[in-house]
Structure 1
Amino acid sequence: MMRKIEIQLFGPIAAFARLHEVETIVLEKQEHWQKMGYRNRFQVLGAKDVLAITVPLQGGRDQKAMTADLTIDYHGRWMKEHWRTLESLYNRSPFFYHYAPGLQQIWESRHELLWDMAEQSLRWTLKQLRWQGAIVHSTTFSPICADDSTDFRHRFLPKNRKHFLLPAYQQTFGERFETNLSILDLLFNMGPSAAAYLKQLPEELNQRQTHES
């Protein structure tokens, strides 16, 4: 079984639930850049609200280049600031420091291309989840097909994050559970149990998700 999906930077939990169950992941490498989605950002839980961690791009977000060709803008101190944000938000979670060394290596690798950073984040995450399938790249572009059960491009978007109602787990802040954050939130809070959590989700998602194109 396979799933096709656009590249995501530490994508949402619901996406990993659907990727974790297949043998092959096909990453869409022939698309033109679209600023909606998780291609250069991910969502984490702050003390008062959900926060977006965004990797800046040269040329900004309003451009017509191929996603695979976009370069990261390293002006400013965003790498240090983003890492400090992650550390301040999750340093009290049970498994942050277990994953921090590998995650920090990705964050400080200074990839030239967004694609390379996002793909490394995907491979690192799947390794933590003990996934042993294959990741391949698309070689031609085809329009999204709503009737294709293997096509998950544009299925998981920031605008519909709350439509994926996932079972609650203990989070770092607040009494109200925030659903479908970045996979990092699950890893930091559940550690090695994250894989078992994901395995119970496909049926749950089919029953409770609301999908907007």
Structure 2
Amino acid sequence: MISRKIAISQSNYIPWKGYFDMINMVDVFVIYDEVQYTKNDWRNRNLLKTKNGLEWITISVKQNSLQQTIDETKVFLSKWNKKHWNTLQAVYGKSPFFKKYKERFAELYLSIDTPFLSEINHRFIVEICDILGVQTSIVNSRTLSLRGDANGRLIDACEKLEANTYISGPAAKAYINQSLFEQRSIKIEWMDYTGYKQYNQMWEPFEHSVSILDLIFNEGDQAKRFLKTFDS
């Protein structure tokens, strides 16, 4: 049997490096934003490494109800993109490879015209994958019409995408029923986010948990050397 791997995750805003390792490990990556939007999470914000330490960069969003899904969530401020781009220039303007990517990210930020958080996140994820050379197919879960409970929808996605291996982050061990996957001949592999190498990050002490933009702006074409699933 041909091995086919998938991973399923909510979209994050300019995610950290581990998110892209997960994407690079699989044949198909499913963005699953049909679930409840959660405040104070990674959906609309991430961390930057600044001279003053870690700082959040956050997209303000409207939350009209607790049942609101991620893909229903809209941006609150219309000019958030210009503000974020100015922030990135202020934080990373002197980093070694900022100039190399400046025009590309300026165009990305300033061309965003959708109010939907999920669509914004998707655009950044696709663009960063292109910079890293990731070939994985990225699909929206709504195109799959998933059915069942939390475990059932994951299994449904695996079967509809003809996958026999499901890659998951370690936090999902709290709710995934591995025996249900085994009954459908689907193997689960767990991501290991330990053991990342340090790179030439500006300002000490070193922090791993920041947006991957930190790695890209500091290492440029060599960024992949500091990820775990890429050939150096």
Gaps of 5+ in 2: 153-164, 173-192
| Structure-2 residue corresponding to 1:152 | 169
| Structure-2 residue corresponding to 1:83 | 85
1:129-140 correspondence to structure 2 within 5 Å:
129-138=132-141, 139-140=145-146
Per-residue CA deviations over 1:74-96 (Å, capped at 9, x if unaligned) read 25x54333222211111111111
SS in 1 for 2:29: strand
Residues 1:39 and 1:154: Cα distance change in structure 2 (over 3 Å): farther
Inter-partner Cα distance in structure 1 for 2:194 and 2:16: 10
What's the offset of the Cα at 1:152? 3.3
Inter-partner Cα distance in structure 2 for 1:136 and 1:80: 28
Greater RCO (CA < 8 Å, at least 6 residues apart)? 1
Q: Which runs of 4+ in 1 moved over 4 A?
A: none
Query: Is the counterpart of residue 104 in structure 1 residue 106 in structure 2?
Result: yes
Inter-partner Cα distance in structure 2 for 1:168 and 1:87: 23
**Does structure 2 retain, via aligned residues, the 8 Å contact 1:10–1:42?**
yes
Residues 1:74 and 1:88: Cα distance change in structure 2 (over 3 Å): same
Per-residue CA deviations over 1:117-146 (Å, capped at 9, x if unaligned) read 10000000000000112011223264269x
Inter-partner Cα distance in structure 1 for 2:136 and 2:6: 10
| Structure-1 residue corresponding to 2:215 | 186
| The structure with more radius of gyration | 2
**Does structure 2 retain, via aligned residues, the 8 Å contact 1:95–1:189?**
yes
Greater fraction strand: 2
| Structure-2 residue corresponding to 1:92 | 94
Residues 1:29 and 1:82: Cα distance change in structure 2 (over 3 Å): closer
Amino acid at match of 2:167: T
TM-score, structure 1 normalization: 0.78
SS in 1 for 2:133: coil
Inter-partner Cα distance in structure 1 for 2:229 and 2:140: 28
| Structure-1 residue corresponding to 2:6 | 2
Aligned length in residues: 191
What's the offset of the Cα at 1:18? 2.1
| Structure-1 residue corresponding to 2:159 | none
**Does structure 2 retain, via aligned residues, the 8 Å contact 1:5–1:154?**
no
Inter-partner Cα distance in structure 2 for 1:200 and 1:31: 28
Inter-partner Cα distance in structure 1 for 2:170 and 2:119: 19
Percent identity of paired positions between Structure 1 and Structure 2 = 22
Amino acid at match of 1:94: P
TM-score, structure 2 normalization: 0.72
RMSD: 2.7
Residues 1:17 and 1:63: Cα distance change in structure 2 (over 3 Å): same
Query: Is the counterpart of residue 72 in structure 1 residue 102 in structure 2?
Result: no
Inter-partner Cα distance in structure 2 for 1:144 and 1:193: 38
| Structure-2 residue corresponding to 1:171 | 201
Gaps of 5+ in 1: 156-162, 202-213
**Does structure 2 retain, via aligned residues, the 8 Å contact 1:43–1:50?**
yes
Amino acid at match of 1:26: V
| Structure-1 residue corresponding to 2:35 | 31
**Does structure 1 retain, via aligned residues, the 8 Å contact 2:7–2:29?**
yes
